[in-house]
Amino acid sequence: MKVRTFIIMLVVFLLIPSAYAADSPAGYLKTVKGTACVIRQGETIPAVVGERIFKDDTLRTGPDGSLGITFMDDTVMSMGPGSEVSLNDFEFSPAEGRMSIFTHMLKGTVVYLSGIIAKLSPDTVRFETPVANISLRGTRFAVKVEGDSQDACK
């Protein structure tokens, strides 16, 4: 009986870190102006200051919108009007040597200031656009991608 209880407890303790990691936010919305939203698992969520951002979220701003995002590694990203960026990957576990950030920009304007991940593991930072991939070797950049105008948050 004791062995069975021990095995059950061991399995539970092994599953807790992976469940926690899946729910760990990549960052949060620091500023929100105008029309902006977060697309999460097919659901459109109005953007509000303090909203947590997760891996696989898509961030959109309307023609009057802007967002300021702060990631857990202190990366900062500002999105201008009519922008769309997907967070394809984010992992920040420096003690375990696991760090990466991968964003895909579809349209709009973004200013990006790299954080700890780019300093400790620059090869794991990727910022893609429809026409170019950006690998960080510096600390900041601005990019503009032309795209179709549409109301992003309906």
Task: Quote the strand ranges of the chain, DSSP E.
Answer: 27-33, 36-40, 43-46, 52-53, 58-61, 66-71, 76-79, 84-93, 98-113, 125-128, 133-135, 140-145
3-state SS assignment for residue 119: helix
Tokens coding 8: 């059950």
| Residue 118, domain member (yes or no) | yes
Residue 111: domain span: 26-145
Give the pLDDT confidence of 80-136 residue by residue, as tens digits. 999 999 999 999 999 998 999 999 999 999 999 999 999 998 889 988 888 877 666
| Residue 16, domain member (yes or no) | no
| Residue 13, domain member (yes or no) | no
Choose between 1 and 10: higher pLDDT. 1
Q: Could you tell me what percent of the chain has a pLDDT over 90?
A: 60
Q: What is the pTM of this model?
A: 0.80
Choose between 18 and 42: higher pLDDT. 42
| Residue 114, domain member (yes or no) | yes
Scanning the structure block, which residue is given the tokens 């700890």? 116
- Total domains in the chain come to 1
| Residue 75, domain member (yes or no) | yes
Q: Please give the Cα distance from 142 to 54 (Å, whole number).
A: 23
Section 27-55 average pLDDT? 97
